[in-house]
Chains A and B, each alone.
Chain A
């Protein structure tokens, strides 16, 4: 029998790491959607990072929920992991955690079979990310007092600011978005401008023969 305190701390720390990972995954997902660049990373690497970090977040969430259920200090039924509001202990706030987990699993499963799925359906499921993160955040903030004091409070505020910032930027940039057909022309003129302005100044103007 593992010491209950170990499970308790494992659960809390895995939850905190999962919060950080989900915040990064959300921000990267928004960057992928807006075709933004993260310095030092090619765009395809950003996509891969978004996918892989989301799978890593699931691993930490698994540790988080399993240790919470195994811990005997408070009794949480195993079913409460996926069925919202099935736990007697902190019924509402743990329920939010189950809602968040369900949404995340739906996003992961639809993404794994994305090639076989119609794009609109995949997108509809994926858009629930904007519900999933806030729900998970509230769950983290109110299931226990850990995130409401000390350095973890600063961490939680930091995550919230990153998520809110990325979300706001997404809305603003989506409003000013170019139609698909214009994007090519915009990229072409941007590439040509970049080439011209960065040319060495000693280059003569026309071809000599």
Chain B
């Protein structure tokens, strides 16, 4: 198995950044929307402060970073705290299959930065941070220099780690530490950056918030489903490309996935494999996906083409996830490498009998036993692979494999980009 595909989170020439836009992305594709164009298209924010918190609640906006937590609840929690407060726009995007945050920051940085200012104002924060990869940090600083913001924004570089966007890891890095998940009984909305109550929102969530401040909750609800209103950005991984598309929640998946394949990975590398036939019958919202134990996550969809083997691809990803463990919690540090090695065996010819049962047992043992959800997400991915690729498991037991190519499909960073020292988390 060779992990030589040179794809990090950075958008590459082979990516087709924007596949479709509705609200967030500008109508003219491929270009950055300048401040004047942004104001001409979106106008000025009319709803601010505590009224905005209410409007966001009426709009039913949920976090677009993966957890789909109600945004107004987080806003109200930090707004209700006293003393020094902070807001962080989270654009770390550690997920190799996702480029939507990068596309958003590249194309409509002013919409995101407006959202950051409005959120800071609404919760009464005096410090604002934008946390994103090193290749975008300089770009965001240049953009900030063109603006006259009330709350000064500090750009913090996120290391290219899978877990660097995890909420407590974000707060740790912004506070000056390593971007490692921490275990604390206090939420970051009570005790975040250097002890200050902190609001951490994904950059896409802030962009939606900036639009709600302009057009109101009723406008926001015109698209999407009643339970999950609005639009969302998805990154479709197909044919070696990552394409970012803005879709309504509740859109038929058949309209989003046009590539041919045998299965779809939904929700990124902590997500769930579904057979293509199942996926094409579903709609893109958590209510529909939940019935199949899947979730939208950060909106990553990856198509497994006919010529690839789902077990080989899952084994590659599992090895990557094991290597990206922060190494802090025993079940994750010890369990994930074992699961990864067993998955590599299952991806090869004639695995020993009992290996599937061992993987299932270990997946159960690591679930729920980490400071963050890294072991849970990895176990979810592996379990769904064992279910969806059951026929393929039988082929491998007979020394066969349905793959007709050894070319890797799912994007992963190069092997030499794997973390080895603490500095890799800085």
Q: What residues of chain B lie closer than 8 Å to A190, measured between beta carbons?
A: 337
- Report which of A181, A203, A204, A207 forms a contact with B419, defined as CB distance below 8 A: A181
Q: What residues of chain A lie closer than 8 Å to B352, measured between beta carbons?
A: 199-200
Q: What residues of chain B lie closer than 8 Å to A115, measured between beta carbons?
A: 185
Q: Give bound CA distance, A183 to B328, whole Å.
A: 9
- Do residues A184 and B337 form an inter-chain contact, with CB atoms below 8 A? yes
Which parts of A171-209 form the interface with B (CB within 8 Å)?
179-185, 187-188, 190-192, 194-195, 199-200, 202-204, 206-209
Interface size on B, residues (CB 8 A): 38
Q: Does A148 interact with chain B (Cβ within 8 Å)?
A: no
Q: What residues of chain B lie closer than 8 Å to A179, measured between beta carbons?
A: 421-422
Knowing A188-B322, A206-B349, say if A195 contacts B341 (CB, 8 Å): yes
Q: Give bound CA distance, A115 to B184, whole Å.
A: 7
Knowing A180-B327, A187-B333, say if A207 contacts B344 (CB, 8 Å): no
Interface size on A, residues (CB 8 A): 28
Knowing A116-B185, A180-B328, say if A188 contacts B349 (CB, 8 Å): no
Q: Does A43 interact with chain B (Cβ within 8 Å)?
A: yes
Q: What residues of chain A lie closer than 8 Å to B350, measured between beta carbons?
A: 200, 202-204
Interchain Cβ contacts under 8 Å between A and B, 6 examples: A181-B419, A182-B421, A185-B418, A188-B323, A188-B341, A192-B344
Which residue of chain A is the closest to B399 with respect to CB atoms? A208
Count contacts between A and B, CB distance < 8 Å: 89
Which residue of chain A is the closest to B424 with respect to CB atoms? A181
Closest 9 CB pairs of A and B: A191-B341, A191-B337, A207-B401, A188-B337, A184-B327, A195-B341, A187-B337, A203-B350, A183-B327
B interface list, Cβ under 8 A from A: 185, 319, 322-328, 330-331, 333-334, 337-338, 340-342, 344-345, 348-350, 352, 369, 396, 399-401, 403-404, 418-422, 424-425
- Do residues B338 and A191 form an inter-chain contact, with CB atoms below 8 A? yes
Min CB distance A46 to B, Å, is 10
Which residue of chain B is the closest to A207 with respect to CB atoms? B401
- Do residues B422 and A181 form an inter-chain contact, with CB atoms below 8 A? yes
Q: Give bound CA distance, A202 to B352, whole Å.
A: 11
Q: Give bound CA distance, A184 to B421, whole Å.
A: 10
Min CB distance A43 to B, Å, is 5
Q: What residues of chain A lie closer than 8 Å to B422, measured between beta carbons?
A: 179-181
- Do residues A191 and B399 form an inter-chain contact, with CB atoms below 8 A? no
Q: A181-B422, A192-B344, A207-B403 are in contact. List 11 more A-B contacts (CB 8 A).
A: A180-B422, A183-B333, A184-B326, A184-B327, A184-B333, A185-B419, A188-B341, A200-B350, A200-B352, A202-B350, A208-B349
Knowing A185-B420, A187-B334, A208-B399, say if A194 contacts B349 (CB, 8 Å): no
- Do residues B330 and A44 form an inter-chain contact, with CB atoms below 8 A? yes
Q: Does A35 interact with chain B (Cβ within 8 Å)?
A: yes
Min CB distance A185 to B, Å, is 6
Q: What residues of chain A lie closer than 8 Å to B424, measured between beta carbons?
A: 181
